[in-house]
Structure 1
Amino acid sequence: MEQKTELKRSLGLIDATSLVAGSMIGSGIFIVTSAMARDVGSAAWLIIIWLVTGLLTMSAALSYGELAGMMPNAGGQFVYIQRAYGKLVSFLYGWTVFTVIQTGVIAAIAVTFANYTAIFFPVLENEISSFGGSFALTNKQIVAVISIVFLTYINTKGIKTGKTIQLIFTLAKLIALFALIIFGLYVGLKTDVLSNNFENMWDASKTVLNADGSVTITKLAGFALLGAMGATIINSLFSSDAWNNVTFIAAEIKDPKKNIPRSLFLGTLLVTIIYIFANIAYLALLPMQGTPNTATVVENGIMFASQDRVGAAAANMILGNIAVFVMAGLIMISTFGCNSGLILSGGRLFYAMANDNLFFKQATILNKNGVPAKALWLQCIWACVLAVSGKFGDLLTYATFASLLFYILTIYGIFILRKREPNAIRPYKAFGYPFVPMLYIVVTVLICFNLLYFETKNTSIGLFIVALGIPVYYLFLHKKE
């Protein structure tokens, strides 16, 4: 029997930190470095981009801590935006999260899980049916859908079941990543690969693989270099995203005014350190430069790792040919655990929206396990549609820009609330206020302007998706009346 009750606080600091780190670590760290290497062509600038990404992520997380302490409620960022800017802006955030950001990421990660499962079971590559020349249904898409449905089902069984899954898979992927780093450095530092990569470490260049197989290399300096870094940082930022998901489940965290800020700091710090050392391990094992479509991982280098799977190429240097299966297993574990956290937390955001009459009313109902099961299933259905459609990749590209805008708005909300509500209880105050939050805003605004210039089409479509939420908002208001 379903009943509407309050969410119960049953998650401690370790659980919350596990959710932060587990939601951040998906498949990106094993893939995006190849594209970034082609964009900047410099080992030093590559590491700096990852370092800047980590500092930006941590500064945002430390700033969110103040808002989390003030408003330890289900919905997290949705609640913060509403208090600072009102219901329309908060709805536009929730709308974008539901239509693209959360569900699109869930779909993308589920498909990545299926792609790597196919390495063990090649039959998954087969098509089931095709419709015209634009759409084909494959076994991999079915596996992706099954994984989303299964994890949703698991998370409807209660927060304790969800947190157990999250802890197990986060621990597994952390151990595996530490092993990749330690053994990678152990093997790599016995060679001169790392020193060679850093020999001309400040010489930046953009490498483009042309349709005829030839390569065009353009030297970068000054504003051209800053532009290239600003454009490619979107890769590392996306790989470091989803840290804010812990705020969505604030109503289920014990002593949230202390544990949410602590978990945000500890989780983002841990992942930042892992990501930087993982990239150093790549640079110790593989040459930065490479030639496309060659026979060996060394000749391909980081830039042209097969299908951009730089993590698999690095593992190959440690373990040989068996690395393909080892890395596939690691990414399966990583993506499965990541999606468990995303599915668990996303449902709580839509539950909070429904309680404000800004989402389907059924999403307010908690099942006998104290979980917003209907919100989880609505999220599941749309994520499955995106996974089968194959369009989630385009949607995520469009939505990343919008996601950055909402981060900027949320952190600027600290300044608004400090002025509007100076006497509000703030158990934790943003680290380095006003300098650290303002630095994040300034740098992220510059990145957004850079994306507007270099990725005009994608950013414009992203803004259009957000704007589509305006008529939907008034539709919900009309329905409420």
Structure 2
Amino acid sequence: MSETSTGFKREIKLFDAVMLVAGSMIGSGIFIVSADIARSVGSPGYLLLVWALTGLMTLAGALSYGELTSLMPRAGGQYVYLRESYGPMVAFLYGWTLFLVIQSGTIAAVAVAFAKFTGVLVPWFSEDNVLLDLGFLKFTTVQFLAIASIILLTLVNQQGVRNGKFIQNIFGSTKIIALFALIIFGLLLGTNAEVIELNFTNMWEPKALVPGEHYRAPLAGWALMVGVGTAMIGSLFSSDAWNNIGFSGDEIVNPKRTIVLSMAIGTTIVTILYLLINIVYLTILPLEGSPEGVDVMARGIQFASNDRVATAVAEVIGGSTATIAIAVLIMISTFGCNNGVILSAPRVYYAMAKDGLFFRNMARLNKNSVPGVALTFQCVWACLLCMSGRYGDLLDFVIFAVLLFYILTIAGIFILRRTMPDAPRPYKAIGYPFLPGLYIAMASFICLLLLMYKTEYAGAGLAIVLIGIPVYYFFKNKFQKIED
């Protein structure tokens, strides 16, 4: 599209921003990851504790991060905060990792989840239905639908932020209402007295499953801390993207107030929803189960088929009809989640290009006042990841980098208070320095566990970041900063 716009349009209001925060956070994770957490900690109490600690960590991060958004409410969000705190290289490495894996990989993974659950309603969409087999690459109907959904949402967002926020408001509010309805119906219709007694009697006796065996080893001391910390990896991914609203700072009405409020409200809503949904799980399904179980009750939360805990709960509540309803809910959830991610992330690539650190065309706004070229680049790369089938591996590798950049960003609050003491801060981090320090301590502990016990993943994530160093110098030497 031609470059006819001279700037972003401020069209995102508080409700829109809350839907972007909550809608981007809620994807498919809450319906699935509790199974893996249950296998890691082996106790209802500690399952809920993992989600509670994740909520605490997310809220601490959001309430601390708000100071940076009020200080610098500009397009690019976290990229801008890192640039002002540490310089252009660290900021570029964040944007590089965001484009290469974090956002594009998330878009691919969520799109595939959307396509898989669409297959519950339309069986033609199946990983077994291969459209093209090249030997080294199989292209299935699931990948076809995933790619189609990414292209569709990209085209919608190319037409302006108003269209993107409309989609987000519809799908975001629908899935929040539907999740609350699931909680209410689950508690009213699905609760099982025997399951409640089984799960909530001696609920604080953690036992981890020994890989490859049915033996459950009691957890205590350091082993328990490791179990809880590593279990939080899945719940943290399910609660991520709360910061994406900051990427759109130049498109938000009264950004110094709206961004902070939307992150606080959105993360609170999602934290409450996630805790309540897990309570519903525990009132309907036994936590412990067997992979050889003949039905959903025998498999329990730990061994729900394909880890689809919500689907197993729906089967208990209402059979096949409820299972279809859950599939529709997950379709709505994943579609809305992807819209939020697709809308937000290109603002980072736009800011990088303005600094002369990415392809110059990405710094262009199209006639609808959105970074159209950046949206297109993101779409192409996410679609290629869908075709490769490697997005899941990349997301596993990058969690160390995700947490590392969050730590650096929150630590930037301390740096900027020293280097920019007189800059106006309409909002200051609540509980400073303790709340930001709490987030840094919790995230650092999880990074330490990743380095110690998941060295392959942490090392690969760090390698993806470090590969960006020569790329940084390439862009720095090739392009010049674009002045406003």
TM-score under structure 1 normalisation?
0.97
Structure 1, unaligned runs of 5 or more: none
Q: Which residue of 2 aligns with 1:192?
A: 194
Structure 2 counterpart of 1:138: 140
| Partner deviation per Cα, 1:373-412 (whole Å, 9 max, x = no partner) | 1110000000000011000000001111100000000000
Corresponding residue of 1:416: 415
Whichever residue aligns with residue 473 of structure 2, its letter is: Y
Is the CA contact (8 Å cut-off) linking 2:5 and 2:367 kept in structure 1? no
Matched residue, 1:207: 209
Secondary structure of the residue that 2:260 maps to in structure 1?
A: helix
The match for 1:234 is 233
Where 1:129 maps in the other structure, the secondary structure is strand
Matched ranges for 1:63-212 at <5 A: 63-125=64-126, 126-132=129-135, 134-189=136-191, 191-208=193-210, 210=212
The alignment partner of 1:422 has SS state of coil
Moved more, 289-298 or 56-65: 289-298
Structure 1 distance, partners of 2:73, 2:125, is 44
Letter in 2 for 1:164: F
Residue aligning to 1:39: 40
Deviations 1:264-317 (A, max 9, x none): 100000000000000000001100111113221111110010100001111112
Give yes or no for contact 1:187–1:285 (8 Å, CA) kept in 2. no
- 1:208, 1:242 → 2: CA distance? 32
Aligned-residue offset at 1:321: 2.1
User: Aligned partners of 2:71 and 2:178: how far apart in 1?
Assistant: 36
Q: Which deviations, in whole Å up to 9, do the C-alpha atoms of 1:137-157 show, x marking residues without a partner?
A: 111101100000000000011
Whether the 8 Å CA contact 1:316–1:324 is kept in 2: the answer is: yes
For 1:82 and 1:464, the matched residues in 2 are separated by: 21
What is the root-mean-square deviation in Å for CA atoms of aligned residues?
Answer: 1.1
Whole-Å Cα distance in 2 between the matches of residues 225 and 204 of structure 1? 8
2: CA distance, partners of 1:284 / 1:190: 6
1:237-386 map, 5 Å: 237-386=236-385
Residue 60 of structure 1 corresponds to 61
- Measured after TM superposition, the shift of residue 128 of structure 1 is 1.4
Deviations 1:361-384 (A, max 9, x none): 111111111111111000000000
Give 1:10 deviation, angstroms: 1.1
Deviation at 1:131, TM superposition (A): 2.8
CA shift, 1:219, in A, is 1.5
Give the distance between the partners of 2:189 and 2:211, measured in 1 at CA.
30
Report how many aligned residue pairs link the two structures. 477
Identity %: 53
Q: CA deviation at 1:4?
A: 4.8
**Which residue number corresponds to residue 10 of structure 1?**
11
Q: Which runs of 5+ in 2 are unaligned?
A: none
Cα shift readout 1:185-218 (whole Å, capped 9, x = no counterpart): 11344523223201111111111462xxx52322
Partner of 2:217, secondary structure, is strand
Match of 2:405 in 1: 406
Partner of 1:448: 447
For the 8 Å contact 1:38–1:208, the answer to whether it is kept is no
Q: Retained in 1: the 8 A contact 2:168–2:336?
A: yes
> Is the CA contact (8 Å cut-off) linking 1:3 and 1:368 kept in structure 2?
yes
Distance in 2 between the 1:176 and 1:257 partners?
31
Superposed displacement of residue 122, structure 1: 1.6
8 Å CA contact retained: 1:31, 1:311: yes
Contact 1:3–1:365 at 8 Å: present in 2 too? no
Contact 1:113 1:331 in 2 (8 A): yes
Any runs of at least 4 consecutive aligned residues in structure 1 with deviations exceeding 4 A, and if so which? none
- Farther off after superposition, 308-317 or 82-91: 308-317
How far residue 176 of structure 1 moved from its aligned partner, in angstroms, is: 1.1
Distance verdict in 2 for CA 1:118–1:209, change over 3 Å: farther
Give me the whole-angstrom Cα distance separating, in 2, the residues matched to 1:449 and 1:209: 22
CA contact (8 A) 2:55 2:271 kept: yes
